[in-house]
Amino acid sequence: MLANRKYERSEHQYRLTDHALVSMDGSPTTLVEELAVPKPVLINFIFTTCSTICPVMSATFAKVQDELGPEASEVRMLSFSIDPEYDTPARLRAYAAQFGAGDQWQFLTGDMDELIAVQKAFDVYRGNKMNHEPTTLMRRSPDDPWVRLDGIASAADIVAEYRRLVAR
Amino acid sequence: MIAWPQIVRSAPLVLLLACADAWASGWPAAGEVPGAATTAAAGGEAAAAGARIYHDGVLPSGAPMRGLVQGDIALSGQQVTCGWCHRRSGLGATEGQEVVPAVTGDILYAPLRTPTSKPPLAPVLRPPYTDATLKRAIRDGIGADGEPFDPLMPRYPLDDRQLDLLVAYLKTLNTAPDPGVDDKTIHFATIVSDGVEPARRKAFLDVLEAFFAQKNVETRNESRRAAHAPRHKAWAYEPYRKWDLHVWTLAGAPESWPAQLAAEQAERPVFAVISGLVDGPWQPVHDFCEAQALPCLFPSTDLPATAAPGFYTVYLSRGLGLEADVATRHLADEGLLDGPLVQVYRANAPRSQAPAERFAAQVRARGGDVTEIAIPAGAAPDADRWQAIAGQAAGGVLVAWLDGADLQGLWASGAAAGLRRLYLSTALYGETPGAMPAAVRERARLVHAHALPAERSRLLVRSTGWLRAKGIYAPQALREQANAFFALSLTGGALRVMRGFFVRDYLIEKLEHMTENATYTSIYERTAIAPGQRFASHGAYITRFDPAADDALIAVTDWIVPQAD
């Protein structure tokens, strides 16, 4: 029953304002800077001590990276920490290593209020990281709408959605 | 994972279902689990090997266990151990709308159904597992009912022998109550030491006593109803217990505390320790609680044990060690680590010495240097002594882990005028300038690891009103009272969602899950923990006294979270 459940797909134009962030190497960055790439962007939200859905979501991103193969370098993958006071750049680097994240896959942290604002901008803020839901977002280019996948989408689902996105 | 009907996706049912696997009525007691007796007699070793698989993901060969996620992504390490999701207790967890069911032997080997107090029994939602179906579930992801599991559950390519070990361990996990609980009463302790000033100690204990009294008044009728619960409500009424408070008072030196605590616990075991207030480091209590597997919840201390986080001790903050980190970080941000940098502390006074040691280590780790001056026990340094100390920091920074009394000589000497910055801690110095000369206030910076005073009445409105109504409000012990109220309300909330599963590990797991939701955060900006996280508040402000606002304490920085956490 649950084994067959599917994710829900929808399209959105999010009104994104800029927010200060910290990249996993410890350097300052911003949301606008991270998204201003002429490439497709894939986003999810995780925290390193999450015991339920994050390991699976991160494993899924790892598999997406593998399935894209050399094409992965044409994509930007961003995982935002929703527990930024605990998820320091050092912890994010260790977490990224655990999932074999390549250079195109960056983890972001920063000030709690800024990360809450980012979650709200993408309508994924649930008030408590323990109420966190599995959502994946993707966009072909800065001029295109966001495609939102709610639910545990498999790597195959995400790759298929990505192919649909870049083909149109 | 049980193939739940689709209703699991409906939000209001999620919390209910989270415990549903754990409510199954009529499950056998631990000793009745098929094979449990043989496990106990001959399989202790097997269960121990299974525990290493479950908790550490380490196979008997020493190789890491792999789990296949999303079909064929092979992961190893902490994130795919059984215990990472099903938790240390085996009682499972929830996140968002996702449910990780309980995997204790007593629950798995019984049919899953809603508990009822009288026949007829409720329908079976999942048949009982057998050794064979349980092994199939772990390896192939097929439930006891033959349905495939949710994709959240990894598949584990274990061989028969490895599965036997894991199954042997699952059979040892059970929902039998831990010590400190009987059919009618749940026992809690709080810990105070005889060195705590009597007025502070009374203000602190007043909160616990009033909270326990009110809790018992409010639930006494629910406890009575349990005896005559409607058939489908037994699970709702039966978990009510009278709360019994035991005050464990420690005397003498901290080295003697573990023996005193052991004697108390032997005489009257408690289920958990709620808050606490001692004059000295929390380390001896921490060690005791970890050794006894006794939850020790949110003590009111500046000196938590930070070297190696435990499982059973949960703190509000890293205390003065955190302040030392924030001071270092701010000095680095301001470019003030190049010197001169001098710190002064009281030797053999843990609340002064501990942050000083941490500060010196942090400064050196950043490549800076600090001149350390220890004041011996006895009288405060006089003006001449302060003149000499401040002279060493002339044109630079003086960090003083001291209270107002020790700084009187500095104010009198006038030597602070030669400093570029003076760093203090509000935990030691206080939140008002006291006798600090106006000229010094400009250059004084205070580390403040709580919400700002201007925010506090809003944060504490819930407890202040309650304390006033009880006639026990003591503003001079504001912090201790607020912290005690926080620990009590969260423990009460956790007990409520635990229902009748009086398992200490489960209490900690529920707190990991709900602390971030607390509507009351004591004197802290934010409080949240998570699996493996044991400090609820992570940062501090750098503040100063603002002459334009009656010398109120105001922030000169944002909330700083140091990286050394």
So where are chain B's domains?
Answer: 6-172, 185-319+473-509, 321-448+541-555
Can you give the pLDDT at residue B14?
34
B5, B96, B563 member nearest A133 (Cβ): B96
Instruction: Say if B98 is an interface residue toward chain A (CB within 8 Å).
Output: yes
> Which backbone phi and psi does A121 adopt, to 5 degrees?
-60, -35
Is pLDDT at A4 greater than 50 in this prediction?
no
Taking the CB of residue B547, how many other CB atoms lie within 10 A of it? 12
B69, B84, B149 member nearest A51 (Cβ): B84
Can you give the pLDDT at residue B24?
36
CATH code of the region B185-319+473-509: 3.40.50.2300
- Answer whether residue A14 is part of any domain: no
Flag if B70 and A155 touch (Cβ within 8 Å): yes
Instruction: Say if B8 is an interface residue toward chain A (CB within 8 Å).
Output: yes
Flag if A63 and B70 touch (Cβ within 8 Å): yes
- For residue A159, the Cα-to-chain-centroid distance in whole angstroms is 14
B85, B96, B558 member nearest A51 (Cβ): B85
Chain A residues whose beta carbon lies within 8 Å of the beta carbon of residue B325: none
CA distance B388 to B394: 10
- Answer whether residue A147 is part of any domain: yes
The whole domain housing A30 covers: 20-167
CB contacts < 8 A, A to B, total 130
- Answer whether residue A112 is part of any domain: yes
CATH number at residue A135: 3.40.30.10
Q: Which residue in B7, B98, B147 has the most chain A C-beta atoms within 10 A of its own C-beta, making it the best mutation to test that interface?
A: B98
pTM to 2 decimal places: 0.91
What is each CA distance from B52 to A27, A57, B294, B306, B313, in whole angstroms? 39, 25, 22, 26, 23
Chain A residues whose beta carbon lies within 8 Å of the beta carbon of residue B77: 98
Q: How many domains does chain A have?
A: 1
A164 Cβ neighbours under 8 A, 6+ residues apart? none
CATH code of the region B321-448+541-555: 3.40.50.2300
**Residue in chain B lying closest to A100 (CA):** B75
Q: What is the mean pLDDT of each run of 10 residues along chain B (565 residues)?
A: 30 35 36 44 83 96 91 80 95 86 96 82 92 97 94 92 98 96 96 97 98 93 75 76 97 96 97 97 97 98 92 97 97 93 96 97 95 95 96 97 97 95 98 96 97 94 96 97 98 93 97 92 94 95 96 96 71
- Answer whether residue A44 is part of any domain: yes
Chain A residues whose beta carbon lies within 8 Å of the beta carbon of residue B526: 85, 112
CA distance A116 to B524: 18
Flag if A3 and B3 touch (Cβ within 8 Å): yes
CA distance A20 to A18: 7
Can you give the pLDDT at residue B432?
96
Spatial contact of B209 and B470, defined as CB atoms under 8 Å apart: no
Where does the pLDDT of residue A2 fall: very low under 50, low under 70, confident under 90, or very high at 90 and above?
very low
Query: Are B185-319+473-509 and B321-448+541-555 the same fold in CATH?
Result: yes
CA distance B203 to A36: 56
Q: Look at residues A48, A92, A87, A93 and name the one whose alpha carbon lies nearest to residue B79.
A: A48
Q: Look at residues B517, B519, B515 and name the one whose alpha carbon lies nearest to residue B463.
A: B519
- Answer whether residue A117 is part of any domain: yes
pLDDT tens-digit series, residues A60-90: 999 999 999 999 999 999 999 999 999 999 9
CA distance B188 to B482: 19
CA distance B107 to A155: 33
Buried b (16+ CB within 10 A) or exposed e, A65-100: beebeeebeebbbbbbbbbbbbbbbebbeebbebbe
Interface of B with A in 102-131 (CB under 8 A): none
- For residue B170, the Cα-to-chain-centroid distance in whole angstroms is 26
pLDDT tens-digit series, residues A92-147: 999 999 999 999 999 999 999 999 999 999 999 988 888 888 999 999 999 899 99
Is pLDDT at A36 greater than 70 in this prediction?
yes
